[in-house]
Amino acid sequence: MRIATWNVNSITARLPRLLAWLESSGTDVLCVQETKCTEEQFPFDALREIGYEAAVNATGRWNGVALLSKVGLDDVVVGLPGGPEYDGVREPRAVAATCGPARVWSVYVPNGREVDHAHYAYKLRWLDALKTAVADDAAGQRPFAVLGDFNVAPTDDDVWDPALFEGATHVTPKERSALAALRDTGLSDVVPRPLKYDRPYTYWDYRGLGFPKNKGMRIDLVYGNGGFAKAVSDSYVDREERKGKGASDHAPVVVDLDV
């Protein structure tokens, strides 16, 4: 079973590349973030034509997540149970389902903006709610994983120049502590470092030749429980999909399971 996560930065803008990648990569389950569309605008038909069902949490031009599966979508949960609101709105940042032998969450953690911004406090509350929501599945025997854009680099090795990020979001002790608390529910990072190249970043800013200069961050993560981690046979970041015209600023992260 091949499972992946990818922040597509607009599923409408990325649809031709997404469809081609799904067919060429042989992915069974894809966790998608930043769909930037309403549910009515979501390309259900185009995905169905190549064999994928979709569970979607999307309400407009910002945020939005989805699960695409060729192996079934059961017990779907739309939204983060107990998740906080921001400016009175419960944003579409989480969706879960059972896909074949595994239970998975696709999550798009709030950015945080700036450390003194209300969005940063919201981000920490959101991560705490995620920890609570997944605790039972994380501690269970069934293969279970939370995949997505976490907007947190777990360590200094996960950013291209730690000094440039000092005092900024994505690397603060509080954000990293929130990730550690999530892992403490029974999860671990199942995409090891190094992979087939040094510093396997997953995001590169469009500005300043970020990708050609490899000025990136590793913020797209796959956290699996014991049953999931034991089944992992391979993993990689598909850097090729970050190349060329019309690419997302994130690359897919792919994990193979022997289940």
Structurally, the chain folds into a number of domains equal to 1
Mean pLDDT of the chain: 96
Confidence (pLDDT) at 195: 53
Owning domain of residue 186: 2-257
Report whether pLDDT(147) > 70.
yes
Round to whole Å and give the CA distance between 76 and 236.
27
Cα-Cα-Cα-Cα dihedral of 245, 21, 41, 28, to 10°? -160
Q: Which of 249, 193, 182, 190 is nearest to 221 (CA)?
A: 190
Please identify which residue in the block is written with the tokens 């000092």.
166
For residue 93, what pLDDT band results from cuts at 50, 70 and 90? very high
Per-residue pLDDT band for 198 (boundaries 50, 70, 90) equals low
CATH code assigned at 207: 3.60.10.10
3-state secondary structure of 213: coil
d(CA 58, CA 142): 28
Diameter over CA atoms, the chain: 47
The pTM of this model reads 0.97
